[in-house]
Chain A
């Protein structure tokens, strides 16, 4: 057992307070917010400005608040499960509500990086257990017995000696007056009843009946609809607009040019605004504004054809991107890690294997295009915002609106997908600035095309791998040189670093005017595909089983690691591969398919994947898939399996079909008629998911399986076709190489 201690930060504290009308409220106060919390009087029943709590109602029902934004990873179900477990209530008595953004009350309201479960684990366990202990202490006073003699089960307190019991609801108001207990005992893992079971998505009834859940569904009296028009190409800016025709169209209220952020504002990493200015059209209804968009004429700047501030001031194209990447991969790059003497190893090698892998820009394609509601008044603002990371946008929002942060209320709406894109809040700023300017509540809506051509893409990458083999076909040197537009995907301390004596990792990058952003397992989603394809090919060349080869390297990394900063636990990594090997051995490969495997460690979770590729409609497709994961304790089993299935299908789809292309700065794929997405008939007919069973603290599920899936697809394509796949998307390569003969 490697579970960490589960006490929260000592600076943190919990404070209980009476709820209006009885019951107990458990208020979380986190570092940095102690001063604000101290203003509240814990014995007062007046409403507190809280929204992170366990609420126990007099009838025994429990309201649990989900702190993190939800966009499909099921945190709204899984995080409250942790609270409910330690509180020891029946899940049937739990209702879940979404918390608003409230940094004074929550440690972390960011859904991203697969960190929600991992980071919330000690916090929510402690919160649930502390509340339970307060209920026990209150019951002990009530019965005049020792607290040690009281047990709980499913929301009931028992004193078995005297054959007495009380519901949590009966004692909650007294419990709220109990001084906050310290060092409360957490449940033993063996006693978990809710954690590790499968609880249905708490929003399921609303989803299947079409209830308004999303920002785009939100409506307020007097609300107007706003849409933006942005330049069609990266590298151009709006200089003027011709809005004569638009102003005469029915339902159109306002047309103007907007600067989302002011020129001198110092942006943070999540303040990605592709264009300095965008045109805005405001009207009564969505359809009217959509029609008006077509009539708005933009005048655009022309680039000089050179570079400016280190960035291209010319119009970029995919052909040039690939030519530039090819050139860069031959130039000296920045050395990020060197073990042993890689140069000598390559000099004395009997054989060198060198392969280059490339991948295009990718569009997130969240199903719900950007929307954001804002109602900005003179002294306060209220927003409904689909945003993964509200904390990263509030400073910019506050500065741009000239309103203090505490006067800006952000309701966290359910998002129709995020995948990293909704960590960037340009739409939040835009909606707020528009509302402030027109002095009315407004819902900003992007069309699919607006979003798909706005940027904040997954970058385009290239990685060159070299392996030095001696005369006995043993691996004596390893070299990665990886870069991209505009960032490198390199993780120099990841496997197989640590397993090879002579190792060199180099990074390069090419600047671009095309904006980029996090995309499900950023950087890993490419470098895993390159690394795991290369290791597969290397094993083949060394005449070794591809999984055994990885296990051999991991054994070396464990027994005699090279270097100090190896970013993986060799045992757990080997464990997830071994489980894949065992499960694959008993999962028959369907006739007429090729099999490929890969593994990866990122975002604190170990993942391995196997796919069997066959043919359908004259194209390769994944007929069957198998995944194994080590994410420690699994909180919500079926939901975790759902997430794994989704990551697999997403990985398969992007590996086979995903790409954004550019010509003269224009992103060419703007909707699903040109941007190919994986569909029902291309999804695997069978998916198996298995978890390594252990008692390690839980880690995330959203990202880790996505990166190795690309490589498993490439490796299966090799098994199926006899050809290696180096360039994504793979279906393109397949079709290029398997054209029907022209007669």
Chain B
């Protein structure tokens, strides 16, 4: 009953149901790609996919996540070859790197919904993700590039 699927693997949940998904992932499952940045749904470092939607895992309680399918950065692609991951490498986006799992996970939902996102789409989808190093121009470029890669892939 109290189970959750994370990156296609089933886990039994035996923690406080008020615990945010973020800490279940990091402390209990050992998936640390999802980052803690603010704890109040303001920075996006903790974005994961819950039944395909981008959610802030720092404010998503376990009671909401139970029974659902979670994808984290570690499960976004099998070989690190999601178009966004490839684009992030081609554009050499990161500086410190801390926010980028969240950036990529937010962008992945955008790219699924908009095959050819405009700058406005990128503003709308990515404004909830802070990059303190200021790599925004590169993130924008990488998302456009990933859209191209996705099209080529078909």
Give A residues with C-beta under 8 Å from B: 71-74, 198, 200-201, 203-205, 207-214, 216-217, 219, 225, 250, 285-287, 290, 365-369, 414-419, 447-448, 638-639, 642-643, 645-650, 653, 671-673, 677-681, 683-687
Q: Are B74 and A210 in contact (CB under 8 A)?
A: yes
User: What are the residues of chain B within 8 A of A209 when measuring CB–CB?
Assistant: 33, 73-74, 76, 80, 85
Q: Are A72 and B26 in contact (CB under 8 A)?
A: no
B115: interface (CB < 8 Å): no
Measured in the bound complex, the distance between the Cα atoms of B132 and A286 in whole Å is 24
B89 CB to closest chain A CB (Å) equals 5
B154: interface (CB < 8 Å): no
Q: Are B136 and A672 in contact (CB under 8 A)?
A: no
B37: interface (CB < 8 Å): yes
Q: Are B134 and A368 in contact (CB under 8 A)?
A: no
Q: Are A208 and B88 in contact (CB under 8 A)?
A: yes
Q: Are B23 and A287 in contact (CB under 8 A)?
A: yes
B150: interface (CB < 8 Å): no
Measured in the bound complex, the distance between the Cα atoms of B96 and A522 in whole Å is 20
B137: interface (CB < 8 Å): yes
Quick one: given A208-B89, A448-B37, are A646 and B126 in contact (CB under 8 Å)? Answer: no
Top 4 A-B pairs, shortest CB-CB distance: A210-B33, A416-B98, A649-B134, A72-B96
User: What are the residues of chain B within 8 A of A74 when measuring CB–CB?
Assistant: 95
Q: Are A414 and B23 in contact (CB under 8 A)?
A: no
User: What are the residues of chain B within 8 A of A212 when measuring CB–CB?
Assistant: 32-33
Q: Are B135 and A645 in contact (CB under 8 A)?
A: yes
Q: Are A287 and B32 in contact (CB under 8 A)?
A: no
User: What are the residues of chain B within 8 A of A367 when measuring CB–CB?
Assistant: 35, 37, 43, 45, 96, 98-99, 130-133
Measured in the bound complex, the distance between the Cα atoms of B144 and A593 in whole Å is 25
User: What are the residues of chain A within 8 A of B124 when measuring CB–CB?
Assistant: 681
B52: interface (CB < 8 Å): no
Quick one: given A210-B34, A681-B123, are A200 and B89 in contact (CB under 8 Å)? Answer: yes
A636 CB to closest chain B CB (Å) equals 10
Q: Which of A71, A205, A225, A648 contacts B80 (CB 8 A)?
A: A205
Q: Are B92 and A204 in contact (CB under 8 A)?
A: yes
Quick one: given A203-B97, A367-B45, A646-B133, are A208 and B37 in contact (CB under 8 Å)? Answer: no
Q: Which of B15, B38, B123, B139 contacts A672 (CB 8 A)?
A: B38
Q: Which of chain B's residues 95-137 have a Cβ closer than 8 Å to chain A?
A: 95-101, 104, 119, 122-124, 126-137
Measured in the bound complex, the distance between the Cα atoms of B32 and A642 in whole Å is 26
Measured in the bound complex, the distance between the Cα atoms of B100 and A204 in whole Å is 10
User: What are the residues of chain A within 8 A of B96 when measuring CB–CB?
Assistant: 71-72, 366-368, 414-418
Q: Which of A198, A214, A285 contacts B98 (CB 8 A)?
A: A214
Q: Are A210 and B73 in contact (CB under 8 A)?
A: yes
Q: Which of chain B's residues 19-50 have a Cβ closer than 8 Å to chain A?
A: 19-20, 23, 26-28, 30-40, 42-43, 45
Q: Are A210 and B72 in contact (CB under 8 A)?
A: yes
Q: Are A286 and B23 in contact (CB under 8 A)?
A: yes
Q: Which of A369, A417, A638, A680 contacts B36 (CB 8 A)?
A: A369
Task: Look across to chain B and name the residue whose beta carbon is closest to the beta carbon of A643.
Answer: B95
Q: Are B19 and A287 in contact (CB under 8 A)?
A: yes
Task: Look across to chain B and name the residue whose beta carbon is closest to the beta carbon of A687.
Answer: B137
Q: Are A680 and B94 in contact (CB under 8 A)?
A: no
Measured in the bound complex, the distance between the Cα atoms of B154 and A401 in whole Å is 60
Q: Are A642 and B92 in contact (CB under 8 A)?
A: yes
B63: interface (CB < 8 Å): no
Measured in the bound complex, the distance between the Cα atoms of B133 and A418 in whole Å is 10
Q: Which of A71, A414, A653 contacts B134 (CB 8 A)?
A: A653
Measured in the bound complex, the distance between the Cα atoms of B95 and A44 in whole Å is 40
Q: Are B133 and A285 in contact (CB under 8 A)?
A: no
Of B20, B119, B137, B138, the most chain A CB neighbours within 10 A belong to B137
Measured in the bound complex, the distance between the Cα atoms of B45 and A528 in whole Å is 32
Q: Are A201 and B80 in contact (CB under 8 A)?
A: no
Measured in the bound complex, the distance between the Cα atoms of B44 and A672 in whole Å is 11
Q: Which of chain B's residues 52-100 have a Cβ closer than 8 Å to chain A?
A: 72-74, 76, 80, 84-85, 88-89, 92, 94-100
User: What are the residues of chain A within 8 A of B133 when measuring CB–CB?
Assistant: 72, 367, 417, 646, 650
12 CB < 8 A contacts A-B = A72-B95, A204-B92, A207-B94, A208-B88, A213-B97, A290-B23, A415-B96, A417-B96, A653-B134, A678-B134, A679-B127, A680-B123
Quick one: given A71-B96, A680-B136, are A208 and B80 in contact (CB under 8 Å)? Answer: yes
Q: Are A683 and B100 in contact (CB under 8 A)?
A: no
User: What are the residues of chain A within 8 A of B94 when measuring CB–CB?
Assistant: 72, 201, 203-204, 207-208
Task: Look across to chain B and name the residue whose beta carbon is closest to the beta carbon of A684.
Answer: B137
A76 CB to closest chain B CB (Å) equals 11
Quick one: given A209-B80, A367-B45, A448-B38, are A204 and B95 in contact (CB under 8 Å)? Answer: no
User: What are the residues of chain A within 8 A of B132 when measuring CB–CB?
Assistant: 365-367, 417, 419, 650, 677
Of B33, B84, B132, the most chain A CB neighbours within 10 A belong to B132
Extra contacts besides A368-B96, A415-B96, A649-B134 (4): CB < 8 Å: A209-B76, A225-B27, A646-B133, A680-B127
Task: Look across to chain B and name the residue whose beta carbon is closest to the beta carbon of A647.
Answer: B134
B140: interface (CB < 8 Å): yes
Q: Which of chain B's residues 136-151 have a Cβ closer than 8 Å to chain A?
A: 136-140
